[in-house]
A and B are shown apart, each in its own frame.
Chain A
Amino acid sequence: MTPVIEVIGASFSFGREPVLDGVSLRVDRGEIVGIVGPNGAGKTTLLRVATGALRPEAGSVLLNGTNALRRSAAARARVVARVSQNPTVPDGYTALEVVLMGRTPHLGLLQWEGERDLELAMAAMEATGTDGFADRRLDSLSGGEAQRVFVARALAQEPAALALDEPTTHLDLGYQISVMDSVARARRERRIGVLVAMHDVTLASQYCDRVLVLASGRIQAEGTPRDVLRPELLSTVFDASVTVIPHPVSGTPVALATRRRENGRAGPATTP
């Protein structure tokens, strides 16, 4: 099966600072692949490279088996939809209007959204549980509601793959789960491949079929959450004392960081 996203040996640097150093990954249809790593590990850059938005200095990017860098932005957008970490909330537009903008790569310059586009937009809003506020202004919604609207906009693009950059950051527990549940549902119902950058290991391990651990611009480990999310690796990567226990309900790995003691060594907090 042709992977929807395939990155082969991609390197990228900002000026002299290397951000990605020979990174390879693949995402197949219907699987959720997580990129786990600390802040500044290059997760956002990797997502942008993997969607063809950023041209790697070395290596190649294939979307549905064709060279992403040779295709137009619109052609890429019909294969993969990206939701950035802090999407701009446009003033005054309703949630439905924003979701309809997801139809852009399918429309010519002179073409406007038609009935079919509205149906697809409404279906995407139902799939993310946002149809209830289709006509509310996006700037009046909470962060978690707005985030699901942006996922709906990405689904309205009818992509083969979704690339999500920290979709649950700044959200409370309930919204974290509801956003990821709607992503998991889209994967199941639409057989979309999902590439999601997260620093929340506990959440990633519950939703991802595979995780890649990215640190210092390189993939440090790759595999199922249970195989990869080991305390030794996480402690090194996050530069903290990390304990991993099984989730009491799902059994997936839960990462817990332990506070440092005053002398700098890990251990239980002492109460005076």
Chain B
Amino acid sequence: MAKLAARQDSGRARGGSPVRVEGRRTLSMAYPWPRIAVACAVVVVVGLIAAGIGSVSIPPSTVARIVADHLPWLAFDHTWPEAWDAIVWQLRLPRVVLAGLVGAALAASGATYQGLFRNPLADPYLIGVAAGAGLGATVVLVAGLPARQGGVSLLPIAAFAGATSAVAVAYVVSRQSGRMSLATLILAGVAVASIAGALTSLIMIRSNPDVRPLLGWLLGGLTGARWSHTAVLLPYLVVGVAGMLLYARVLNVLQLGEDEAEQLGVSVERTKVILVILATLTTAAAVSVSGVIGFVGLVAPHVVRLVWGPDHRTLLPLAAVAGAAFLILADLVARTVASPSELPVGIVTAFCGAPFFLYLLARMGRRRS
């Protein structure tokens, strides 16, 4: 009893499984809703602040009122210049929301890949998703195909097709030995990524000399974000993350190893296939609207794991929220630090993410020894 009380007091009790002592032992396996709600609220505030910052500075409270004014059931007196409405609603907010959605998609996929591969260093780019997407987009941009066909941008579709085929190739190759071996999948992914990367470079060198826009896209960018982009990503994000959450408890069991999970009655093969598909679709959708943005899928789950522990029921939703906040802030830096010009946000995430990641590695190493 005292021990269980200590568990709660220690603050290490995790959101997924708080143990309360009230005369008798009870376990509430309730979802960590309060924690997720608080985290979401923080992201909304961060987003409102970020949307107010730029060449025209708008206070967050006004940003909030402009946003609320656009909701169907609310109306405010327009005490702000009309231009502000356009700046917030048409320029900055789509970009902030898209950054949040992309960050959430990459972080949730990253956490899932890491759990699936039982390797905390796995990331969404591991199995060739990004390289495949880059190749798809390059083909469209360089081949001189119209960027828009019947009002629909071809770029995300091509990127999506490239990402999915890269994963499909890696997957089919790794299936050749019968069971899907995760180590083979990773190696196949690396090989596919190299081929796709080499093809991308070859196409760029052999064609139109002006490859700067393409290079920007490959480095990851949210420039020119529109509400239509968020509409492309949102369904994939919702379906993908919901599916991952369904498998959160099973992902925990997979950490015991595949043989052990099978012994516990988990259909390991089916679980792996479903989770790879979910995480890849989610990642590909994000890449198709934002290009190649690294380190979000690596850093956000890591921070959450260090603070709240490895239980995927807590980890997946909180990593998604942390990824959203991280990318909103990174994009804010990307568009303000060199104003009026912009940096690709992928450079910013690499600059913050890589050193932070090295710091985490060093810290983990010290704790182990």
Spell out A's residues near B (CB within 8 Å): 51, 53, 72-78, 81-82, 84, 87-88, 90-93, 97-98, 100-102, 104-105, 107, 109-110, 112-115, 117-119, 122, 131-132, 134-135, 157
Our pick among B12, B17, B120, B261 for the contact of A91 (Cβ within 8 Å) is B120
Closest residue of chain B to A103, judged by CB?
B264
Known: A91-B120, A114-B29, A118-B25. A98 touches B256 (CB 8 A): yes
List CB contacts (< 8 Å) of B291-311 with chain A.
Answer: 305, 309-311
Q: How far is the CA of A117 from the CA of B19 in the complex (A)?
A: 13
Known: A107-B249, A114-B29. A101 touches B6 (CB 8 A): no
> Chain B's nearest CB lies how many Å from the CB of A156?
10
Contact A119 B25 (CB under 8 A): yes
Q: How far is the CA of A81 from the CA of B265 in the complex (A)?
A: 10
Contact A157 B255 (CB under 8 A): no
Q: How far is the CA of A97 from the CA of B257 in the complex (A)?
A: 15
> Chain B's nearest CB lies how many Å from the CB of A226?
33
Secondary structure dominating the interface of B: mixed
Contact A88 B256 (CB under 8 A): yes
Q: Enumerate the 7 nearest inter-chain pairs by beta-carbon distance, A residue then B residue, closest first.
A: A74-B265, A105-B265, A90-B255, A77-B265, A88-B257, A118-B27, A92-B310
Given contact pairs A75-B265, A105-B265, A135-B10, a sample of 4 additional A-B residue pairs in the complex whose CB atoms are under 8 Å apart: A53-B263, A81-B263, A87-B257, A98-B256
Q: How far is the CA of A253 from the CA of B285 in the complex (A)?
A: 66
Contact A112 B29 (CB under 8 A): yes
Q: How far is the CA of A104 from the CA of B309 in the complex (A)?
A: 20
Q: How far is the CA of A135 from the CA of B17 in the complex (A)?
A: 12
Q: How far is the CA of A134 from the CA of B341 in the complex (A)?
A: 55
Our pick among A76, A101, A112 for the contact of B256 (Cβ within 8 Å) is A101
Residues of A within 8 A of B6 (CB): 135
Q: How far is the CA of A183 from the CA of B19 in the complex (A)?
A: 28
Residues of B within 8 A of A117 (CB): 27
> Chain A's nearest CB lies how many Å from the CB of B273?
15
B210 beta carbon closer than 8 Å to chain A: no
Contact B246 A73 (CB under 8 A): no
Known: A84-B259, A109-B246. A73 touches B27 (CB 8 A): no
> Chain B's nearest CB lies how many Å from the CB of A253?
32
Residues of A within 8 A of B253 (CB): 101, 104
Contact A84 B260 (CB under 8 A): yes
> Chain A's nearest CB lies how many Å from the CB of B180?
17
Q: How far is the CA of A118 from the CA of B253 in the complex (A)?
A: 16
List CB contacts (< 8 Å) of B316-339 with chain A.
Answer: none
Residues of B within 8 A of A113 (CB): 17, 27, 29
Contact B265 A84 (CB under 8 A): no
Our pick among B250, B263, B305 for the contact of A109 (Cβ within 8 Å) is B250
> Chain B's nearest CB lies how many Å from the CB of A159?
11
Known: A115-B27, A122-B25, A135-B12. A93 touches B264 (CB 8 A): no
Q: How far is the CA of A91 from the CA of B368 in the complex (A)?
A: 11
Spell out B's residues near A (CB within 8 Å): 3-4, 6-7, 10, 12, 17, 19, 25-27, 29, 118, 120, 246-247, 249-250, 252-253, 255-257, 259-267, 305, 309-311, 313
> Chain A's nearest CB lies how many Å from the CB of B121?
12
Contact A73 B267 (CB under 8 A): yes
Between-chain CB contacts (< 8 Å), 17 pairs: A53-B263, A73-B263, A73-B266, A88-B256, A92-B310, A93-B255, A101-B252, A102-B264, A104-B261, A104-B264, A105-B265, A110-B246, A112-B29, A115-B25, A118-B27, A119-B25, A134-B7
Closest residue of chain A to B364, judged by CB?
A91
Residues of B within 8 A of A110 (CB): 246
Residues of A within 8 A of B4 (CB): 134-135
Closest residue of chain B to A98, judged by CB?
B256
Contact A87 B249 (CB under 8 A): no
Our pick among B12, B17, B263 for the contact of A77 (Cβ within 8 Å) is B263
Our pick among A88, A107, A135 for the contact of B260 (Cβ within 8 Å) is A88
Q: Which of B4, B6, B12, B264 has the most CB of A within 10 A?
A: B264
Residues of B within 8 A of A122 (CB): 25
Contact B264 A92 (CB under 8 A): no
Closest residue of chain B to A81, judged by CB?
B263
Residues of A within 8 A of B246 (CB): 109-110
Q: How far is the CA of A98 from the CA of B3 in the complex (A)?
A: 17
Known: A98-B256, A104-B253, A110-B246. A82 touches B29 (CB 8 A): no
Q: How far is the CA of A115 from the CA of B30 in the complex (A)?
A: 11
Contact A135 B7 (CB under 8 A): yes
Contact A51 B25 (CB under 8 A): no
Residues of A within 8 A of B12 (CB): 135
Residues of A within 8 A of B267 (CB): 73
Our pick among B17, B257, B266 for the contact of A104 (Cβ within 8 Å) is B266
Residues of A within 8 A of B247 (CB): 109
Our pick among A78, A91, A115, A118 for the contact of B255 (Cβ within 8 Å) is A91
Residues of B within 8 A of A101 (CB): 252-253, 256, 264
Closest residue of chain B to A117, judged by CB?
B27
